[in-house]
Amino acid sequence: MIALVQQFAFALKQEGLMVPTNSLLLAIEAQKWINPLDQEQFRAALEASLVINQADQPTFERVYHRYFHQQIPVSLTQENQIFKLNLKDFTDQLRKEGDPVNHILADYIEGQTDGLMNRLGLIPLEPDHVPQEVDDPAKADRTPKARDSQKIHNRVRVLIELAEDFSARSFSMNREKREALTAYLRQRLEEAALLLDQNRPKPKAREILPWEKKRTLSSISFNQLTQQEIERVKEEVERLAQKLKDALSAKRKRTHRGHIEIKKTIRDSLRYGGVPFYIHHKSPSKTKGKVVALCDISSSVSYAAQFMILLLYRLQNRFSKIRTFVFIRHTYEISRYFEAYPMETALVKATKDHHIGMGQPSNYGTSFKSFLDTYESALTKDTTLLILGDGQNNFNNPMTEPFEKMAKKVERVIWLNPEEEKFWYSSSNSLRHYKPFCDQVIECATLDQLGEFTRNLVL
């Protein structure tokens, strides 16, 4: 699925659309939250992630139809008729042998992926194949799926060599076109092999590549983390929370008696010739503010929301009350889930219970309005309102009036944006409309930035 999304993004770039790496990562991440077999969900997730400007919508529709309905490979749209005829000659030669494996690979080279997908073990290659019992336990787990995949995988390696020979003999094309034909055939055949490799059980561990070793976990943007790095960040968030707890405890010990009350101490020292035998302290303030957190949990910022919520609840003793709300198009309170379930499962259960469609595009205007209509009483003069979101409103009406009313009811408004600041002011982003009503707008895209913000909030 990742390779499919990457190729579609490449097709959009070929048509002149700007597809930043960040948008491509969002499109890949969105596949985890939808049913990829549902065409409407799949299309909506790609559109929300990859279409930045509304003017690009017609181009997206055209490329989507051509790529997923007509199934025309991207590379073929750029080539001439002679190239396509030579390609057809090669696939016809594969089909002449009558081997089902060759038919599957020939279809895939021409852009028809159904055969390869169906043959990844769902049905055996030979219609009359009947599984037989084996005496060797080592061979017992070699299912028809594994045998079929291995057969195609072996054939791919042979056909790559044949494709190079075929291209070298295609004298109807010049040298440049023959090299292009070789590259295209190799690419399609290697893609087939890659799909099969991805379909096999993965080893438990793999060697870390050199470029991965250079990645600094604390400085990687949340939306660029691998799954393994996400788990490591969660551990780092727990450590950060414990460090902040220790710092808070030490601070309370230093200030549990308050600051020295100079006037009273000097006045009392007059009885002892000006020697301050007794130090008088002011009583420290015991008031602690409330926090109301509104978190966008659409696919583009979901991990950042999890990390921030995790930190807040690990430090909840610092505040008199924390109430957490999530939104994509409407706002729902999920505070009770964190009291009843572990952090890892609370968000998942909350989204299921409230039927929140994770593949939907965000709508900040309707979300803020639904919050104000339902939860207005949560906002008081001693409340800090935290908004976590990238402001990506997908060309919807920002409806600033509800947000302005929310800002007037609280002590301060802090907006945390997990996107780099250079992406804040695109035509589909509404943060510029809400910024005048915020006390602070902070970039919070990495673990370092999240930690710095939390220290300033609680210490």
DSSP string, 33-91: GS-TT-HHHHHHHHHHHH--SGGGHHHHHHHHIIIIIS---TGGGGS-HHHHHHHHHHH
CATH number at residue 447: 3.40.50.410
Based on the fold, state whether residues 48 and 110 are members of the same structural domain.
Answer: no
Give me the pLDDT at residue 210, please: 46
Based on the fold, state whether residues 309 and 432 are members of the same structural domain.
Answer: yes
The residue from 25, 46, 69 where one domain ends is 69
**Angle at alpha carbon of residue 442, lines to 438 and 446, rounded to 5°:** 155
Based on the fold, state whether residues 31 and 88 are members of the same structural domain.
Answer: no
The residue from 69, 86, 116 where one domain ends is 69
Q: Tell me how long the chain is.
A: 459
Based on the fold, state whether residues 434 and 338 are members of the same structural domain.
Answer: yes
Based on the fold, state whether residues 37 and 159 are members of the same structural domain.
Answer: no
Based on the fold, state whether residues 310 and 453 are members of the same structural domain.
Answer: yes
pLDDT of residue 213 exceeding 50, the answer is no
Buried b (16+ CB within 10 A) or exposed e, 16-43: ebebeebbbbbbbbbbebbeeeeeebbe
Structural contact between residues 47 and 62, judged by C-beta atoms closer than 8 angstroms: no
Based on the fold, state whether residues 319 and 421 are members of the same structural domain.
Answer: yes
Tell whether 101 is covered by a domain. yes
Q: Provide the domain limits for residue 30.
A: 2-69
Based on the fold, state whether residues 96 and 17 are members of the same structural domain.
Answer: no
Percent of the chain with pLDDT over 90: 14
Q: How confident is the model at residue 282 (pLDDT cuts 50, 70, 90)?
A: confident
Tell whether 418 is covered by a domain. yes
Going by the DSSP 8-state scheme, the letter that residue 133 receives in this structure is -
Give me the pLDDT at residue 378, please: 92
Q: How confident is the model at residue 354 (pLDDT cuts 50, 70, 90)?
A: confident
Q: How many CB atoms lie within 10 A of CB 271?
A: 10
- Please count the structural domains in the chain: 3
Instruction: Give me the helices (H) in 214-301, please.
Output: 227-255, 262-269
Give me the pLDDT at residue 140, please: 42
Helix (H) / strand (E) element for 344: namely helix 343-353
Based on the fold, state whether residues 344 and 440 are members of the same structural domain.
Answer: yes
> 303: closest CA among 214, 387, 229?
229
Tell whether 230 is covered by a domain. no
Based on the fold, state whether residues 80 and 65 are members of the same structural domain.
Answer: no
Tell whether 408 is covered by a domain. yes
Based on the fold, state whether residues 28 and 103 are members of the same structural domain.
Answer: no
Query: Residues 300-316: pLDDT tens digits?
Result: 677 787 788 887 777 77
The whole-number average pLDDT for the span 120-138 is 42
Q: Which SS3 state, helix, strand or coil, does residue 127 take?
A: coil
Based on the fold, state whether residues 321 and 434 are members of the same structural domain.
Answer: yes
